[in-house]
Amino acid sequence: MKLTFVTPWWGPEARGGAETACRQTALRLAAAGLDVEVLTTCSRSFLSAWDHDDYRPGEGIEAGVRVRRFACRRRDRSAFDAINRKLLKGEAISATEETTFVAESINSPDLVDFIAQNAGDRVFVFIPYLYGTTVQGAMAAPARSVLIPCLHDEAYARLAPVRAMFESVRGIGFLSAPERELAQGLYRMQDSSDRMLGLGVEGGRGDAARFRARHGSEPFVLYVGRKDATKGTPLLIEAFLRYKFEHPGPLRLLLAGPGAVDTKGSPFVADLGYLPEDDKHDAFAAAAVFCNPSWNESFSIVLMEAWLAGTPALVHARCAVTRDHVRRAKGGLYFHTPAEFAAALDLLLDPALGPKMGANGRRYVRLNFTWDAVVRRYLAALRAWGFADIARLAT
């Protein structure tokens, strides 16, 4: 029996948090002895056209697991964008618009047909929740489907097709306690279907001196992630520039990751673009403070990586997940307004407090998010969901 991960994007260019979680989890479970396969589309990444086949349909071995790629469905982007704008503004949409939104997301009828025709000897693990490949794919074989939703408190989570999926699938695995609590408040999930799984994180191998030799020795606040409004990067830049106006000095803000950002022409804000893994970990080690201003997170891998480097964290108070991590870890602070950002940043830059919080964060990650622990939780969840045959394959 195969454990089959289903995700819109798979490959080295698919660098989002959910895509990284899917890739790392699939590879770790395969290494533990499970028969793992991946179903995905031919689109390269979230930032690519969702109806363009960057890869050829077909199957092959990628990173040691079998990957089957399916052609993308041609979509009505204008219809999708119009509905998406309504959802982002908090406007009500009709049942027909809900159906259209899912249909005109990234989708592949061939992928969904494969799921429907091969459900007998497979368990399908879908990640993340909000795309057409997940909603339509999971509903093609709900009794054989597990959802790793990466759920956020957003309008998409309240769509009727999404609700139907959460209430139909055999199992749901959550990455954090606030994510689970959100789902429990939104849906009537099947009894015993939801489990806390978490995510394994590795890090702590960065070389701070190497990073400073390349990028300068001035202290800096670091952001790592996709750079756009949904991740809070404009808010971060605005709050930082206000802080700099009130606190002259050498402190800089460095941003790394895909996407474009307006640095406002400031010499103290720099966009490093995408950093290779080693450079990214060097940056975590060299940073004075790591800031994740996003209020839509279900776990935050980069927060854990920063903590493994011993770097204290500053997160947005509106994000229940990162706020909960910070509280549990005693590894940083959270802010809502620019004034709160400034006050928190001053505290974290204090050499008597910041390193202590960074050390607390490192301890928290090592206690809770090792891959050995996460693999054990997956095996226990598979048994609880009635898929003991797969769990028995583990070595």
Each residue of 59-112: pLDDT tens digit? 999 888 999 999 999 999 999 999 999 999 999 999 999 999 999 999 999 999
User: Looking at the structure, do residues 348 and 380 belong to the same domain, yes or no?
Assistant: no
Same domain, 125 and 139: yes
Q: Alpha-carbon distance 219 to 346, whole Å?
A: 13
CB distance 291 to 257 below 8 Å:
no
| 42, 58, 70, 81, 90 from 54: Cα distances, Å | 6, 12, 11, 22, 33
Return the number of other C-beta atoms located less than 10 Å from residue 248's C-beta: 8
Give all strands (DSSP E) within the chain, no chain letters: 2-6, 36-41, 58-62, 65-70, 122-126, 145-147, 171-174, 194-196, 220-224, 252-256, 269-273, 289-292, 313-316, 332-335
Do 158 and 241 belong together in one domain?
no
What is the tally of structural domains in the chain? 2
* Backbone CA torsion sign across 138, 139, 145, 148: positive
| 296 shares its domain with 241 | yes
The model's confidence at residue 395, banded by pLDDT at 50, 70 and 90, is: low
Per-residue confidence band for 38, with pLDDT thresholds at 50, 70 and 90: very high
Output phi, psi for 52, to 5 deg.
Answer: -115, 135
Q: What percent of the chain has pLDDT over 90?
A: 89
Q: How far is CA 15 from the centre of its chain?
A: 9
pLDDT tens across 130-184, in order? 999 999 999 999 999 999 999 999 999 999 999 999 999 999 999 999 999 999 9
Residues 153 and 125 in one domain: yes
Cα 314 to Cα 33, 98, 181, 264, 342, distances in angstroms: 38, 36, 23, 22, 11
How far apart CA 377 and CA 158 sit, in angstroms, is 28
102 and 36 in a common domain: yes
> How far does the chain reach from its first CA to its final CA, in angstroms?
15
Strand order in the sheet with 220-224: 269-273, 252-256, 220-224, 289-292, 313-316, 332-335
Same domain, 285 and 382: no
Indicate the DSSP class of residue 291: E
Dump the DSSP string for 344-359.
HHHHHT-TTTHHHHHH
CA 371 to CA 181: how far, in whole Å?
23
Q: Does position 331 have pLDDT exceeding 90, yes or no?
A: yes
The pairing of strands 122-126 and 145-147 is parallel
**How far is 67 from 341, CA to CA, in rounded Å?**
44
Query: 267: left (phi > 0), else alpha (psi -120 to 50), else beta?
Result: alpha
219 and 364 in a single domain? The answer is yes
Euclidean distance between CA atoms 360 and 339, whole angstroms = 25
Is 175 found in the same domain as 114? yes
Place 16 in a pLDDT band, splitting at 50, 70 and 90.
confident
Q: Which residues of 206-218 are buried (b: 16+ CB within 10 A; e: fewer)?
A: bebeebbeebeee
- Of 327, 333, 288, 289, the closest CA to residue 315 belongs to 333
Domain match, 166 and 231 both: no
What's the CATH code of the domain at 110? 3.40.50.2000
Residue 313 sits in which domain range? 208-368
Same domain, 334 and 383: no
Closest-CA residue to 345 (of 334, 356, 330): 334
Nearest to 274 by CA among 11, 48, 15, 55: 15
Q: Is 126 helix (H, G, I), strand (E, B) or coil?
A: strand
369-386 mean pLDDT: 95
* Whether 53 and 193 share a structural domain: yes
Output the CA torsion sign for 54, 26, 16, 12: negative
3-state secondary structure of 226: coil
pLDDT (tens digit per residue) in 220-250? 999 999 998 889 999 999 999 999 999 999 9
Rounded to an integer, what distance in angstroms lies between the CA atom of residue 100 and that of residue 80? 7
pLDDT of residue 192: 76
Place 288 in a pLDDT band, splitting at 50, 70 and 90.
very high
